[in-house]
Chain A
Amino acid sequence: MYSQGLRDSQAGDDLPELLEAFQKRIDAEEKIEPRDWMPSAYRKTLIRQISQHAHSEIVGQLPEANWVSRAPTLKRKLILLAKIQDEAGHGLYLYSAAETLGESRHKMFEDLLSGKAKYSSIFNYPTLNWADAGAVGWLVDGAAIMNQVALCRTSYGPYSRAMVRICKEESFHQRQGYAIMLKMAKGSSEQKAMAQDALNRTWGPSLMMFGPSDKDSTHSNQSMKWKIKRFSNDDLRQKFIDATVPQAEYLGLTIPDKNLKYNDKTGHYDFSEIIWDELFDVIKGNGPCNQQRMDARNKAYNDGAWVREAAAVYAKKLNNKKEVA
Chain B
Amino acid sequence: MKLYEVFLRAKAGLSHKHVGSVHATDAQMAMQNARDLYTRREEGESIWVVDSTQIISSNPTDKAAYFEPAEDKIYRHPSFYPFDKEVKNI
Instruction: Show the binding face of A for B, using Cβ within 8 Å.
Output: 1-2, 4-5, 8-9, 33, 35-37, 82, 85-86, 89, 92-93, 96-97, 99, 105-106, 161-162, 165, 168-169, 308, 311-312, 314-315, 318
Please determine whether B20 and A1 come into contact, CB atoms closer than 8 angstroms: no
Please determine whether B22 and A96 come into contact, CB atoms closer than 8 angstroms: yes
Residues of B within 8 A of A96 (CB): 20-22
Complex A-B, nearest 4 residue pairs according to Cβ-Cβ distance, in ascending order: A315-B25, A311-B25, A315-B26, A96-B21
Please determine whether A312 and B59 come into contact, CB atoms closer than 8 angstroms: no
Please determine whether B25 and A35 come into contact, CB atoms closer than 8 angstroms: no
Please determine whether A35 and B60 come into contact, CB atoms closer than 8 angstroms: yes
Please determine whether B26 and A92 come into contact, CB atoms closer than 8 angstroms: no
The 20 listed contacts between A and B (C-beta, < 8 Å) are: A1-B53, A4-B57, A5-B57, A8-B60, A8-B61, A9-B60, A33-B60, A85-B40, A86-B40, A89-B37, A97-B20, A99-B3, A99-B21, A106-B1, A161-B20, A162-B20, A168-B41, A169-B41, A312-B1, A315-B29
Interface flags, B11-31, vs A, CB<8A=1, else 0: 000000001111101100100
Given A5-B60, A99-B21; 13 other pairs, CB 8 A cutoff: A1-B55, A2-B5, A8-B59, A35-B60, A36-B60, A82-B40, A85-B40, A92-B37, A105-B23, A106-B1, A169-B41, A308-B1, A312-B1
Residues of B within 8 A of A99 (CB): 3, 21
Number of interface residues of B (CB under 8 A): 21
Interface flags, B38-60, vs A, CB<8A=1, else 0: 00110000000000110101011
A133 to B50, CA, bound (A): 39
Please determine whether B26 and A314 come into contact, CB atoms closer than 8 angstroms: yes
A249 to B87, CA, bound (A): 66
Residues of B within 8 A of A8 (CB): 59-61
A176 to B37, CA, bound (A): 21
Please determine whether A35 and B40 come into contact, CB atoms closer than 8 angstroms: no
Instruction: Show the binding face of B for A, using Cβ within 8 Å.
Output: 1, 3, 5, 19-23, 25-26, 29, 37, 40-41, 52-53, 55, 57, 59-61
CB-contact partner of A311 in B20, B22, B29, B59, under 8 A = B29
Residues of A within 8 A of B5 (CB): 2
Residues of B within 8 A of A162 (CB): 20
A93 to B43, CA, bound (A): 15
Residues of B within 8 A of A168 (CB): 41
The residue of chain A having its C-beta at the shortest distance from the C-beta of B20 within the complex is A96
A4 to B3, CA, bound (A): 13
Please determine whether B59 and A5 come into contact, CB atoms closer than 8 angstroms: yes
Please determine whether B29 and A35 come into contact, CB atoms closer than 8 angstroms: no
The residue of chain B having its C-beta at the shortest distance from the C-beta of A162 within the complex is B20
Please determine whether B53 and A93 come into contact, CB atoms closer than 8 angstroms: no
Residues of A within 8 A of B1 (CB): 105-106, 308, 312
